[in-house]
Structure formats: structure tokens, C-alpha cells
Structure 1
Amino acid sequence: MPVAMVSYANSRAEYDSVPGVLDPKPDGLLVHAASELPDGRIQIVDVWESQAASQKFAETTLFPAFQSAGVLEQMMSGEQPVAYEAFDFVQ
């Protein structure tokens, strides 16, 4: 069942500090979108084939990339991602 993950970065600079994690597109990622909110935060919406695919990406790619960029503590101390099971998904 697809899972929509909603997460946030504190700024565009913070979002841009972790380049290349989606290139090539990770296995299981169906959709990725990032939008700047009126307060300057970045809202990130990813739709994954499953919760397991999302977790695998986070553990093997995303968290190491945060660590390399020096933003792991900052990202982990902010608003945590929320997963929502999708009951309807059109691709």
C-alpha cells in the first residue's frame, strides 16, 4: 500500500544542503515534491510504494547524506516526518 511521507526542512538552504539523494530515483519512490511555505520552511511530500521502502531509503541513503552535509542533528531535532497510508493513488 502506498505511503505518503510529509516532512519539513527549516529553509531552502537547508533543503539544498543535501544534494543528489534522489538521483538516481530511489527504489520504491513514486512521487517527490518540495514546496516553500509562506514562513520560509520547505514542505516535502514523498509517496513511496510502502513504508518499508521509505524506511530503507532513510536508513541507507538519507540519514548518511544528512550526516555528510552536517545537518543530521538539525534535521532530527525538527518536526519529524509523518507517514499516511494512501487509500487512493493514481499514477
Structure 2
Amino acid sequence: MAVLVHNEAADWTKELYQATFDLAIPDRTQPPAGLIAHLAAPREAGGWQVIDIWESEDAFRRFLEGSVIPAAQELGAPPFDTKVVELYNSLIP
């Protein structure tokens, strides 16, 4: 079942997000397996947030553990909070 993933951190910046993204997905023409949509934006209270739609939580966890966490650690990034919920409905034209 598809899931919505919301990652956020008060002490992440646009620059840190972009550097992590560039390391985790070096070729944007080859997105990670299972990724349906990816959105990133500043948080109203400061910091940064990323909202993804994945085909499954397993696909997300594989990408998180295999690419995102190693990239963030390489950059010395602080941890971020992650919430995963099953999607009931979506419309992506």
C-alpha cells in the first residue's frame, strides 16, 4: 500500500537539504525505486520539511537507510523526524 512520508527538522536548511538530496540522488533521471512524488519546502516555524509518496514503506526504508542517512551523515547533518502513514486516496494528474 502507498504511504505518505513526512520528514522535518527545525535545524535543517535549504542548503543542507539540497546537499543531501544531491548525494542521495545524484542522477535525477534515475529516481529511487518506489518513489511516486517528492516535495520539499521550508517549515513555517523554521527549518525544513520533505513530503514524499512511496509505493510502500519498505521502498522508503530501503532508500532512507541506503542513501539518505549515509548522505546526511557524510554532511554532518542533524537528525530529522519521520512520520509514515498509509494513504487512503491520492490524485496525481
- Which TM-score tier does this pair reach, normalised by the shorter chain? 0.7 to 0.9
Post-superposition offset of 1:30 = 0.3
| Structure 2 residue ranges without an equivalent (≥5) | none
Give me the TM-score of the superposition, normalised by structure 1: 0.82
Instruction: Look up the match of 2:54.
Output: 48
Task: State how many pairs are aligned.
Answer: 86
In structure 1, runs of 5+ residues without a counterpart are none
Structure 1 stretches of 4+ with a deviation exceeding 6 A read none
**SS of residue paired to 1:40:** coil
Matches within 5 A, 1:1-91: 1-9=1-9, 10=11, 11-20=13-22, 21-22=24-25, 23=28, 24-71=30-77, 74-75=78-79, 78=80, 80-91=81-92
1:15-61 deviation digits (Å, cap 9, x = unpaired): 12313223331110000001112332112101000000001101111
After superposition, the CA RMSD in angstroms is 1.6
Paired-residue identity, %: 27
Q: What is the identity, as a one-letter code, of the residue corresponding to 2:84?
A: A
When normalised by structure 2's length, the TM-score is 0.80
| Letter matched to residue 91 of structure 2 | V
